[in-house]
Amino acid sequence: MLTIFYAVLFYVATLTFVGGLALRIYQYATTPAPLKIPTTPGPTTRTGVVFRMFREVAFFESLFKSNKWIWVFSALFHAGLLLVVLRHLRYFTQPVWFWVELIQPIGIYAGFAMLIGLIGLFIRRIVVAMVRYISSPSDYLMLLLLIFIGISGAMMKFVSPVDVVAVKQFFLGLMVFDWKPLPSDFPLLVHLSLVALLMIIFPFSKLLHAPGIFFSPTRYQVDNPREKRHIVAWAADLEK
Amino acid sequence: MTEETKTINHDEYLDPLKMAELVPGCMSELHSFEAKPEHQEKLGYPGGLVDDWHDKAIDKMGDLVSKYKGLRVFLDSCVKCGACADKCHYGMGTGDPKNMPVARQDLFRSVYRRYFTTAGKYLPKLVGARDLTEDVLDEWYNYFHQCSQCRRCSVYCPYGIDTAEISMAAREILDTVGKGQKYCNEIIGKVHELGNNLGLPDKALRATLEDFEEDLEEETGLEIKLPLDVKGADILLVTPSADFFAEPHIDGLLGYAKVFHEAGATWTLSTTASEAANFGMFIGSYENMRKVSLRIRKAAEELGVKRIIFGECGHAWRVAYSFLNTLAGPFDFLDRRYPVPQHICEYTWDLIERDIIKFDKSKNDEYRLTFHDSCNVARASRMGDKPGGQFDIPRNILKAACNHYFDMEEDTIKEATVCCGGGGGLLTDDLMDLRKKGASPRMKALSNVRKEHGVTHMAAICAICKSQFAKVMPGYDFEIDSILSVHQMVSNAIILTGAIDPVEDDDDDEIPAAAPDAAATT
Amino acid sequence: MAYELNGATIEHDEEGYLTDLSQWNEELAVILAKDEKIEMNDEHWEVVNFLRNYYDEYQIAPAIRVLVKALKKTMGKEKGSNKYLYTLFPYGPAKQACKIAGLPKPTGCI
C-alpha cells in the first residue's frame, strides 16, 4: 500500500515537474522580446553573454554586488543543494558512476552547508524588516519545506539510519516500472513526501527563477543594437 | 575655492546609500496630476476611466505578458530575496517600503498572480495574490509614478529583474483604461503635434537659434551657426528641446555648435525632429515610442543627411542607442561608416583624440568638477566600442577640458549611479516632494566630494538631470548653477581658430546666473 | 478651480494657470500675483508685458536667456540680469511670471 502510494506519488511528481517545467521553458523561449534591454555595461558578443550568464549562475555575480549576507547564505544553500542532489544520483544508477562515488563524503558536508544557508535565509526573512515586509506566507513555507527536507535527510544519515539498499531498489524499480517495497521509516517517508511536494510545486512557484534566469533579457541579450537590427514578429507587423 | 574648504572632514560624512527608516504608507497619497481627456485622446487612449476598466486592464496585462518576454520572466522569477530592497533612491529617500523595488513590483505581480497563475487562482492568500480593484489601480498610479525607471535595481537582482519594465507595463495598462499621467501624456501630445516637448513652434525655434547665434558671435567674433532645416547637411543633430530653452542646457547646445564649427562639419537641426526626448518609453507604449522615433527617421531622409547625432539627453540616448534601429530602422540610407545614431560625446571625443579640437583648460580653472552618470546612459546604453564607454567618454572629455576633476564614491557612480530623482516622467512640480527625497543619495555623495576635494560643480549629460539638480541643489547649499552641461565645459575651453579673446563680462549675474529658470519652470 | 474677479469666475488648472488665456487682464494679473505673494511694480509689469508680447508673436514663452537679453536693453545691465529676475520672481521667473502673465506653463525637461 505504502509502496504503491509513493510510487504513484513520484510518478505524478516527476510528470508535473518535467511537464510543468518544459511548458514554462517553452513559454519563456517563445515569448518575444521586442526591445534590446540588456543591463549595461554588458557583453557585446554571444561569447561574452555566455560568460556573463556563467558568472551569474555559478557565482551569483549580481547578488554578490548587492548584499554579501544573502550571497553567502544562498551560495551555501545552492552549492550544498547541488552536491546533495548529485550525491543522490547513487539511488538511481547501478553501478554507481565513478564521480558520484567520489563525491559521497563531500555530499554529507554539503548537506550541512545547505541547511546553514537555508536557516540563514530564514532568519534573515524574519529579522530584517525590509525582507519581512516583502515576504508572503509562501516565502517562509518554501524555506521551511527545504529545511525539513534537509533535516529529514540528515536524520537518516545520523540518527536513525534506513535501509538504503532497499530505498535504492525502490527507485531503480520505479524507473523500469517494477515496484519494489519501500521501507516505512518515518524520516524516510517525510523526506520523500516533501521532495515530491517540492517537485510538484516547482513549476507553479518562484522556483521558476531557475529556468527564468536564462531567459532574462537584461542578462542574456547581446549589447549590439546599433550593429544589428533587432525586430520581433509583432513589431515587424506594425511596419506593414 | 580656497584650500581650507578642501580639508577632509570625516565627521560630516553622509552615507549616500543609507535607507531612511521604514514608514509604511508615508508616500501613499502622492498622486501626480492625471491627464485630461484632450491629453489622453491625442495618444489614442480613452479620456477617463472606462466602465469596463477591470476586464480591459486584465486583458491588457495578458497581452503585455505575451508580447514581452522580460515582463513574463520577471513576474515569475522573483524569489523575494531582498537584494534590491535597499537599492532604490526613492526607497532610500522616502522610507516608504513600497518604494523598495521588490515591493513596487509586487503591486503588479500580486495581480498577475491572481489572474494568470495557478497558485494565485486557488491559493491567493498563500502567495500574496490579490484582485484588481479601483484602490489597487490607484495604488499602481501612485507608486508606479514614484519609479524613475533608472534600472539600478536590475543591476543588483540575481535574475536581472528590471522594475522599469514592470513600471512601464503598469503605466501602459493605466493609460489603456483611461488613467494616464498629465506630465508625460501632455508632452507626448506636443511632440506629435509640434515636434518637441516644449511645444516650441518653428518660428520661435528659429528666432531663439538666431538669438543664440548673435550671442556666439559676440562672444567669439566668429559666425558660429545653429543651422535649422538645412538640406544636404552631413549631420542631423537631435537634441532635447530643453537645450533651446533652459539653463544650463543652452550652454551645452552652444558647446555642440562650437565643436561642429571647429571641426568644419556641416550640420543641421530639424523643426520636425526638434526633440531628442521620447516619453513614449516612460509610459511603456511601443506605438507612441515608435511614432516619435519615426519622425527622426523622416527628418533625416528629408534633409538628406549622412549621420544622426544625439545631444545630451539620458533616456533619449537609451531610446536612440538601444531602440532606434528597432523602431525606425534600418538606416541603410545613412553613411554606414558611422554608428547610427551617435552620441555627441562620442563625436567630440573622437575629435579630441584626433587632435582636431583642442582646449585651453585654464578657462575652466574656476570649476572643481565631478560627473553625474545619468541612469539611462549608464545602465541602458553604451558609447564607443567597448562596454563602459558610456562612463569613460564623458569623463575623458571633461578631463580634456578642465584641470580639476574628481569622481564621487564608487558605489554611487557608473553602473551603480543613483538617479537624479526626476527621471522617468517624474520631473513635474506635483511630485516635488518625491523628487527632493529621491535626489538625496546623489546630493549626499556630492556633498561628500565637496568636503573631500572641494568640488564646486557637477556636470551631466541629461536634460532631466540638469533641470532636476538645478531645483534640488539649493537644499544642499549649492548654487543652482552648480549643475553644468558637459559641453558647457567644452564650450568654455575649446580653442576656436580665429576667435577673439572674450571680453570679461563683469556684471554679477553669475551666481544664480545660468541655471535658475530651468529649476523653476517645471 | 477658478479665480473670482468682479463677480466673474475665471477658470484655472490644478496649478493655477489660466485655462482660457484670452480671459487675462491687468486686474486679474494683480490677483494672480497676490497668490504668488508678489506685489506688482513697474519692473514686474515690464517682464509680464514682454512675456505677453513674445507669446503673441511666437505662441510660447521665451527662454530666460532671451528674456534677460531683452530686459538688458530696456532696463539696463543692472536689472537685466538673471539674479534680478529672481528677486522679482523668487520661485523662478518663467514659472511665476508666466502664470501672472496668463500664459500656459512651459512643459518638458525643464
Three-class HEC string of chain C: CEEEECCEEEEECCCCCECCHHHCCHHHHHHHHHHCCCCCCHHHHHHHHHHHHHHHHHCCCCCHHHHHHHHHHHHHHHHCCHHHHHHHCCCCHHHHHHHHCCCCCCCCCC
Average pLDDT over residues B314-321: 98
**Inside any domain, residue C87:** yes
In percent, how much of chain C has pLDDT > 90? 54
User: Residue B46 is part of which domain span?
Assistant: 18-186
Could C85 and B513 be called an inter-chain contact, meaning their C-beta atoms sit closer than 8 Å? no
- Crossing angle of the two packed helices C93-100 and C64-79, in degrees rounded to 10: 90
What is residue B334's DSSP assignment?
S
Is there a single domain that holds both residue B246 and residue B274? yes
**Is the CB of B378 inside 8 Å of chain C's CB atoms?**
no
Query: What pLDDT does residue B504 have?
Result: 52
Those residues whose C-beta lies under 8 Å from the C-beta of residue B505, and which sit 6 or more positions away, are none
Distances (CA, A) of B77 to A209, B65, B74: 4, 14, 5
Chain A nearest CA to B341, separation (Å): 7
* Residue C93: band (very low, low, confident or very high) from pLDDT cuts 50, 70, 90: confident
* Residue C84: band (very low, low, confident or very high) from pLDDT cuts 50, 70, 90: confident
Neighbours of B47 (CB within 10 A): 14
Return the sign of the alpha-carbon dihedral for residues B291, B296, B302, B307: negative
Could A209 and B381 be called an inter-chain contact, meaning their C-beta atoms sit closer than 8 Å? no
Phi then psi for residue B515, to 5 deg, are: -65, -40
In percent, how much of chain B has pLDDT > 90? 92
B458's grid cell: 557637477
SS3 B293: helix
Chain B nearest CA to C6, separation (Å): 29
B241: chain C residues, CB-CB within 8 Å = 108-109
Residue ranges of chain A whose pLDDT lies below 70: none
Q: Which neighbouring-strand residues pair with B460?
A: B485
Those residues whose C-beta lies under 8 Å from the C-beta of residue C53, and which sit 6 or more positions away, are none
What is residue B34's DSSP assignment?
B
Could B187 and C107 be called an inter-chain contact, meaning their C-beta atoms sit closer than 8 Å? yes
Distances (CA, A) of B249 to A164, B178, B253, B459, B474: 74, 34, 7, 11, 18
Query: What pLDDT does residue C76 have?
Result: 85
B197's grid cell: 516637448
Residue A114: burial class (beta carbons within 10 Å; 0-12, 13-18, 19+): buried
Cβ B184 vs Cβ B425: under 8 Å: yes
Is there a single domain that holds both residue B391 and residue B284? yes
**Is the CB of B464 inside 8 Å of chain C's CB atoms?**
yes
**Inside any domain, residue B437:** no
Is there a single domain that holds both residue B135 and residue B215? no
pLDDT above 70: residue B147: yes
pLDDT above 50: residue B521: no
pLDDT above 70: residue B522: no
How many structural domains comprise chain B?
Answer: 2
Which residue carries 533587432 as its cell? A230
SS3 B403: coil
Pick the last residue of a domain from B161, B186, B211: B186
How far apart are the C-alpha atoms of B170 and B154, rounded to whole Å?
Answer: 17
B127: chain A residues, CB-CB within 8 Å = 136-138, 205
**Is the CB of B346 inside 8 Å of chain A's CB atoms?**
no
Partner residue opposite B198 with nearest CB, options C60, C85, C95: C60
Higher pLDDT, B280 or B520: B280
**Which of A130, A228, A232 is most worth mutating to test chain B (most B CB atoms within 10 A of its CB)?**
A130
Is there a single domain that holds both residue B384 and residue B515? yes
For chain C, what is the radius of gyration of the CA atoms?
Answer: 13
**Inside any domain, residue C106:** no
- Residue B96's closest CA among B137, B136, B142? B142
Pick the last residue of a domain from B163, B186, B209: B186
Mean pLDDT, all residues of chain B = 94
Is there a single domain that holds both residue B175 and residue B205? no
What is residue B414's DSSP assignment?
G
B185's grid cell: 501624456
Could A129 and B22 be called an inter-chain contact, meaning their C-beta atoms sit closer than 8 Å? yes
Query: What pLDDT does residue C85 have?
Result: 87
Is there a single domain that holds both residue B167 and residue B57? yes
How far apart are the C-alpha atoms of B449 and B63, rounded to whole Å?
Answer: 47
Is there a single domain that holds both residue B221 and residue B152? no
Higher pLDDT, A28 or B502: A28
B321: chain A residues, CB-CB within 8 Å = 225-226
| CATH number of the domain where residue C80 is located | 1.10.10.370
pLDDT above 80: residue B511: no
Distances (CA, A) of B380 to B76, B319, B401, B415, B426: 23, 9, 26, 10, 19
How far apart are the C-alpha atoms of C47 and C102, rounded to whole Å?
Answer: 12
**DSSP notation for B363-386:** GGTT--EEEPPPHHHHHH---SSS
| CATH number of the domain where residue A185 is located | 1.20.950.20
Those residues whose C-beta lies under 8 Å from the C-beta of residue A50, and which sit 6 or more positions away, are none
How many structural domains comprise chain C?
Answer: 1
**Which of B73, B114, B150, B278 is most worth mutating to test chain A (most A CB atoms within 10 A of its CB)?**
B73
The CB-side HSE value for B222 (13 A sphere, CA atoms) comes to 20
**Amino acid sitting at position B71:** L
What is residue B39's DSSP assignment?
H
**Inside any domain, residue B303:** yes
Query: What pLDDT does residue B11 have?
Result: 58
Q: Which neighbouring-strand residues pair with B34?
A: B181
Which residue carries 549616500 as its cell? B16
User: Residue A65 is part of which domain span?
Assistant: 2-238
Cβ B198 vs Cβ C108: under 8 Å: yes
At CA B31, angle to CA B26 and CA B37, rounded to 5?
170
* Residue B475: band (very low, low, confident or very high) from pLDDT cuts 50, 70, 90: very high
Burial track A174-196 (b if 16+ CB lie within 10 A, e otherwise):
beeeeeeebbebebbbbbbbbbb
Higher pLDDT, B253 or C2: B253
Those residues whose C-beta lies under 8 Å from the C-beta of residue B346, and which sit 6 or more positions away, are B339, B383, B384, B389, B393
Query: What pLDDT does residue C83 have?
Result: 80
- Residue A128's closest CA among B97, B441, B162? B97
* Residue B8: band (very low, low, confident or very high) from pLDDT cuts 50, 70, 90: very low
Chain A nearest CA to B336, separation (Å): 10
Counting CB pairs under 8 A, whether chains C and A reach 3 or more, is: no
Cβ B477 vs Cβ B426: under 8 Å: no
Alpha-helical segments (H) within B381-522: 389-401, 432-453, 463-472, 486-493, 516-521
- Could you tell me which chain C residue has the CA closest to the CA of B36? C13
Tell me the pLDDT tens digit for each residue of B167-200.
Answer: 999 999 999 999 999 999 999 999 999 999 999 9
Three-class HEC string of chain A: CHHHHHHHHHHHHHHHHHHHHHHHHHHHHHCCCCCCCCCCCCCCCHHHHHHHHHHHHHHCHHHHHHCHHHHHHHHHHHHHHHHHHHHHHHHCCCCCCHHHHHCHHHHHHHHHHHHHHHHHHHHHHHHCHHHHHHCCHHHHHHHHHHHHHHHHHHHHHHCCCCCHHHHHHHHHHHHCCCCCCCCCCHHHHHHHHHHHHHHHHHHHCHHHHHHHHHHCHHHHCCCCCCCCCCCCHHHHHHCC
Those residues whose C-beta lies under 8 Å from the C-beta of residue A7, and which sit 6 or more positions away, are A170, A174, A179, A182
Residue C46: burial class (beta carbons within 10 Å; 0-12, 13-18, 19+): middle
How far apart are the C-alpha atoms of C19 and A46, rounded to whole Å?
Answer: 55
Residue B122: burial class (beta carbons within 10 Å; 0-12, 13-18, 19+): exposed
**Inside any domain, residue C89:** yes
Partner residue opposite B151 with nearest CB, options A39, A60, A129: A39
User: Residue C15 is part of which domain span?
Assistant: 2-100
How far apart are the C-alpha atoms of B470 and B463, rounded to whole Å?
Answer: 11
B501's grid cell: 579673446
Query: What pLDDT does residue B329 have?
Result: 92
Is there a single domain that holds both residue B161 and residue B258? no
How far apart are the C-alpha atoms of B393 and B395, rounded to whole Å?
Answer: 5
Cβ B401 vs Cβ B364: under 8 Å: yes
How many structural domains comprise chain A?
Answer: 1
Model-level pTM?
A: 0.94
**Which residues of C form the catalytic set?**
109
**Inside any domain, residue B80:** yes
Is there a single domain that holds both residue B119 and residue B217? no
Q: Do the interacting molecules here have an ipTM over 0.90?
A: yes
